[in-house]
Amino acid sequence: MIFNINIYINIFIFIFIFWRGFLYVKSFFDNSEITGERDWKYFRSCIIWNLFKKYFQFTVKYINKEEIDLIKGACILGAHPHGFACIATGLGFALYGSNNKIIITEEKKEKEKEDIFCKQVHILSANVCFRIPFVRDFFLWLGSVKAERKVIKTMLRNNKKICINVGGISELIETKYNELTINEKRRGFCQIAFEQKIPLIPVYSSGENKTFYFFNPSFMKKYYYFIYKLIGYPIPLFLFGPLPTKVTLIIGNPIDPTQCEDWKELKSKFYNSLHLMIKTEDGEEKEEKKLFKKKNKI
- Summarised one tens digit per residue, pLDDT across range 156-178 is 999 999 999 999 988 998 888 88
3-class SS at 81? coil
* Cα separation, 277 vs 257, whole angstroms: 19
Contacts with 292 (C-beta within 8 Å, 6 or more apart), sequence order: 181, 182
**pLDDT(135) > 80:** yes
The 10s digit of each residue's pLDDT in 191-214 is 999 999 999 999 999 999 999 988
* Cα separation, 109 vs 96, whole angstroms: 20
Determine which of 185-194, 240-249, 284-293 has the lowest per-residue pLDDT on average.
284-293
Q: How many CB atoms lie within 10 A of CB 189?
A: 22
Residue 153: closest CA among 187, 183, 198, 185: 198
Percent of the chain with pLDDT over 70: 83
* Residue 151, φ and ψ in degrees, nearest 5: -70, -40
pTM, full prediction: 0.87
**pLDDT(187) > 90:** yes
DSSP for residue 218: G
Four-CA torsion 142, 147, 150, 151, nearest 10 degrees: 0
Work out the pLDDT band at 298, boundaries 50, 70, 90: low
Q: Give Dmax (Cα) for the chain.
A: 88
Pairing of strands 200-206, 248-251: antiparallel
